[in-house]
Amino acid sequence: MLNRAIATVTMDWDVGTFLRNATSTIKTWGGLVVILIGVVMVIAAVWKAAHGLMSHGKVQTNWAIVILLLVLGGAFMVGGFTFVSNIASGGKKTLEELGGNAIYMLPLFR
């Protein structure tokens, strides 16, 4: 009876399926880490802003950092891995365009 139960289970395992599943899982975990980093950044921004406002000028606060933490932290919280992936693909496109232009202009400098 045990042999029949084992025989009915399909054993479709290969390296490609494993790597696709691993990639999907790592992207999910990475997205959660990016969201967590965004939450920490927003909390730090609120803490720095509150500390700077309540100190009555006794503590020096870098408001550019506070705004940057708030904006990037919010983007990380909302976008997650998709936000980071879009930035990376935009950078890749820019590098490809710059590399292509540099290659086309190379014969002009000889």
- What is the token pair recorded at 65? 């950092």
- Whether the model clears a pTM of 0.85, i.e. scores above it, the answer is no
- What is the token pair recorded at 8? 């009915």
In the block, tokens 């309540």 appear at: 54
Chain segment 1-28, per-residue pLDDT in tens: 555 555 555 556 788 888 888 989 998 8
Residue 102 confidence (pLDDT) = 55
The terminus-to-terminus CA distance of the chain in angstroms comes to 79
Chain segment 38-91, per-residue pLDDT in tens: 999 999 999 999 999 998 878 888 999 999 999 999 999 998 888 888 888 887
pLDDT tier at 94, thresholds 50, 70, 90: confident
**59 and 51 Cβ atoms separated by less than 8 Å:** yes
3-class DSSP assignment, residue 12: coil
For the chain, the structural domain boundaries read 2-109
Distance CA 8, CA 36 (A): 42
In the block, tokens 């909302």 appear at: 78
